[in-house]
Amino acid sequence: MNPQLLKCLCDSSRPVRKSEERMNPMPKAVLFLSTGNAARSIMAEALLRHLGGERFVAFSAGLEPLAKVCPRTLKILSEHEIQTDSLMPKGLMDFFKSPRSILVDVIVTLSEEARGHCPQWPGDPTRVHWPVDDPLACASDDECESAFRKCFDIIQNRVAALVKQRAPQSPIELMLQLRSIAAVV
């Protein structure tokens, strides 16, 4: 191989051509935000990691994170053979306490509380609201089982729709894609 071509290919400081961006786009970093980060946003993070391949990097957080992930959340994910080992509740502010704030491309709020209290984020990511009823707000065991299954199905359908989308060519196209997915149940 031509040594100059090899140097050019290995030099990360060189400008990236538009055709190269389309062929090898950087993975989209997606943060799912809910209230307690014990059910909805944890499911969304796990599902996007499971289905998204190398196109996405998934995170989740809660405005007021609970002490642990709800066992029903872990159970339903395990039933679908989705990895749960690294899942744990994280607070939104934990992302700002790190030495470098994590830059995200998309913030998906899953609760009205998260939608209303999501702070400004470095890099001004695209924001979208995908409302999902809180399965932790159920009264009886039967009701909880049904609520968790419904929550999982809605989030799974939305994440699958996101993964099936072609890579957007502009921030506006990304926003339109994300908003259309919010209607998926």
**Would you state the pLDDT for residue 65?**
94
**Would you state the pLDDT for residue 43?**
97
174: pLDDT strictly greater than 60? yes
pTM of the predicted model over 0.85:
no
Mean pLDDT along residues 42-50 = 97
Q: Does domain 25-181 have CATH number 3.30.2420.10?
A: no
| Beta strand spans in the chain (E) | 28-34, 56-62, 106-109, 126-129
115: pLDDT strictly greater than 70? yes
**Would you state the pLDDT for residue 113?**
92
Distance between CA 94 and CA 169 in Å, rounded? 31
- Between 181 and 15, where is the model more confident? 181
The token pair at 62 is 């809660």
Mean of per-residue pLDDT scores for the chain: 83
pLDDT digits (tens, 9 = 90+) for 124-138: 899 999 999 999 998
Please answer whether residues 159 and 128 qualify as being in contact, where contact means their C-beta atoms are separated by less than 8 angstroms. Answer: no
Mean pLDDT along residues 2-16 = 32
**Would you state the pLDDT for residue 7?**
34
Domain map of the chain by residue range?
25-181
Confidence of residue 167 (pLDDT cuts 50, 70, 90): confident
